[in-house]
Amino acid sequence: MSLLLINCAADRELQAVTDSKKGGNVISEEVLGKWNRSCALCHINGEAGAPIIGDTNSWSERILKGEDALVRSVLEGLNSMPPLGYCMACELEDFKSMVNFMVGSG
């Protein structure tokens, strides 16, 4: 059963990456690797209330706050998301790229 869930999450992640590239929002392989190890866990299925990658409804209110506020939420943590969103190896530009990737803007 768990293998099926892993495959389902991987399929959804692959679809999100494919969709973002169609929209012109390409993320580097290095940053995508960091995203896979730290952000994907919650942002693919909306775990603990996390906004789902590419889901306009999930991101609509957050987008209105602007990129700086979104990145500040990642750095400081918000609700169930810990500070730095589990990515201790990420730089500020990585976080900006990941936020834009998840929101669907580039």
Domains of the chain in sequence order = 2-103 (1.10.760.10)
Give the Cα-Cα-Cα angle 88, 40, 93 (nearest 5 degrees): 45
- The string of pLDDT tens digits covering residues 19-59 is 445 445 679 999 999 999 999 999 999 999 999 999 989 99
Handedness of CA 16, 20, 25, 30 (dihedral sign): positive
What is the rounded average pLDDT for all residues in the chain?
A: 83
98 within 8 A of 27, measured Cβ to Cβ: yes
Instruction: Tell me the pLDDT tens digit for each residue of 51-104.
Output: 999 998 999 999 999 999 999 999 999 999 999 999 999 999 999 999 999 998
User: Which backbone phi and psi does 90 adopt, to 5 degrees?
Assistant: -85, 145
Note the pTM of the prediction, 2 decimals. Answer: 0.76
